[in-house]
Amino acid sequence: MQTPTFAEEAVLGGVMANNDAYHDLSSLITAEHFTSPFRARLWAAIRDRLLAGEPADPVTVAELLPDDASEIFDIARNTVTGKTIPTYAGIVRDNWRRREAGRIAQNLLAGAREAEEGAVDTAIAALLSLNSDVTEHEFTGRQAMTMAFDAAHLAYQNGGKLPGITTGLLELDGILGGWHDSDLTIVGGRPAMGKTAFLLGLVEACAAAGFPCGLVSAEQPAIQIGIRRMALASGVGAAVIRSGQFHEDDWGHLSAGMRKSKDSPIWIYDRSAVTLDELIGVARKWKHTHGIKALFVDYAQRITIKGADRVTEVSQVARGLKNLARDLQVPVIALAQVVKGVDTRPGDKRPHAGDLANSDELTREADQILMLYRDDVYNRDSPTPGIVEVLIEKNRHGPTGYKSFRFVPETMAFEDLNRAPGQHWESAA
């Protein structure tokens, strides 16, 4: 087998000879995968020039690293080019993975000897991350602008199609552009506003559009989620499903709904009072084993951290969810409770971002904050029965405001007002 030095130098020389090869390797290796500081510096220099749109050959790179010039030219003279470069990159990554696995094992043994709390969970998370895609963390301002221009060009080539994962609601997609990687979205509301129903509609829309997703449910057990899913898919009321008081044609609708949705790429973690470490571990596992593209959480204030007071706990959960979104490069959408003082507020009882319970950190960390409001929950004679307002209180990528949707209590579905009843997430896929 090639030694780490030979494989590393073959990769470095190959990329300097053929700059186009970098883009095939950038998802496999970074500077940290190399065994010597010199080779790590050389890879970083090559990366910086290429991401800035400039050529990276031995001469231009040596200008950046004059103290390493002789070694750079030695590598260039021994360059192996061609289709074998990705193979050598795989050797570099595999060798790094073995070194890291040994380091993680040593840390686990040390933690076990000291009875360190969370040592096993930390080791599991670290081992799972060894198989994750490579993510660069250090960029110049020029590189950031180049990346932004490339993204704009890709959006133009996409013909105006939705850039993110659909919410299943066309009016909401129009404001948010769907869910975007690395974003944390908080959905708040008082009880009876339909938060869980709203979230499950988002889950179904995500899966129906072909995006695998995970749902961490600290509020609803899996069987209740299954009943809600069946109601959404079949159009048969959830109360009818629970009671078994079916009409003759309900069985046909249930069977059709099962055929349509039972194999949707959805993974559910059902546990009350789930800890933040547990949630992160499950999400990392789903990302590695199922390739989830979005994570949904019901709900933020039910996530626990041992030994923390309530405000500190929710603050750490907010930061943990945002960090998880960035680390996994997936959108995280989490429900949140709103303080009960909203119910006794005179006049307008629409909740605001500042009404999120227990923590200002949720407001700070979130990229989007949505609030749900149904006037008919407070007013029996409401002029807008069956209407739910989705209030966009914060949106780092676009406008705020609100949109109104139809809420169907029998199936707990949210629908665009300009669609015929019964058309919801399925039509948005």
What's the CA gap between 33 and 369, in Å, rounded? 38
Question: Residue 185 pLDDT more than 80?
Answer: yes
Q: How many helices and strands (H and E) does the chain possess?
A: 18, 9
**In 141-293, which ranges are E strands?**
184-189, 213-217, 266-270
The partner residues of 403 in beta bridges, in order of sequence, read 390
Q: From the CA atom positions of the chain, what is the Rg in Å?
A: 26
Model confidence at 158, pLDDT cuts 50, 70, 90, reads low
Can you list the domains of the chain with their CATH numbers?
A: 4-141 (1.10.860.10), 162-428 (3.40.50.300)
Question: Residue 59 pLDDT more than 90?
Answer: yes
Q: To the nearest whole percent, how much of the chain has pLDDT over 70?
A: 87
What is the pLDDT at residue 347?
Answer: 85
CB atoms within 10 A of CB 119: 17
What is the pLDDT at residue 227?
Answer: 80
CB atoms within 10 A of CB 375: 17
Are 373 and 193 contacting, i.e. CB atoms less than 8 angstroms apart?
A: yes
What is the pLDDT at residue 360?
Answer: 76
Comparing 177 with 132, the larger pLDDT belongs to: 177
Question: Residue 256 pLDDT more than 90?
Answer: no
What is the pLDDT at residue 138?
Answer: 59
176-203 burial by CB neighbour count: b if 16+ within 10 A, else e?
A: bbbbbeebbbbbbbbeebbbbbbbbbbb
Of 199-208, 244-253, 265-274, 323-332, least confident by mean pLDDT is 244-253
Model confidence at 184, pLDDT cuts 50, 70, 90, reads very high
What's the CA gap between 27 and 22, in Å, rounded? 9
The partner residues of 369 in beta bridges, in order of sequence, read 186, 394
What is the pLDDT at residue 316?
Answer: 85
Of 30-39, 127-136, 199-208, 242-251, least confident by mean pLDDT is 127-136
What is the pLDDT at residue 245?
Answer: 77
Question: Residue 231 pLDDT more than 60?
Answer: yes
What is the pLDDT at residue 429?
Answer: 33
Are 236 and 323 contacting, i.e. CB atoms less than 8 angstroms apart?
A: no
Of 30-44, 76-90, 93-107, least confident by mean pLDDT is 76-90
Model confidence at 2, pLDDT cuts 50, 70, 90, reads very low
What is the pLDDT at residue 401?
Answer: 87
pLDDT digits over 127-136, tens only?
Answer: 766 665 555 5
Q: Residue 38 is encoded by which pair of tokens?
A: 């010199």
- Could you give the C-alpha distances from 137 to 41, 65, 80, 229, in angstroms and in order? 15, 21, 29, 39
Interval 322-344 mean pLDDT: 89
Interval 314-326 mean pLDDT: 87
The partner residues of 229 in beta bridges, in order of sequence, read none
- Predicted TM-score of the model (pTM): 0.68
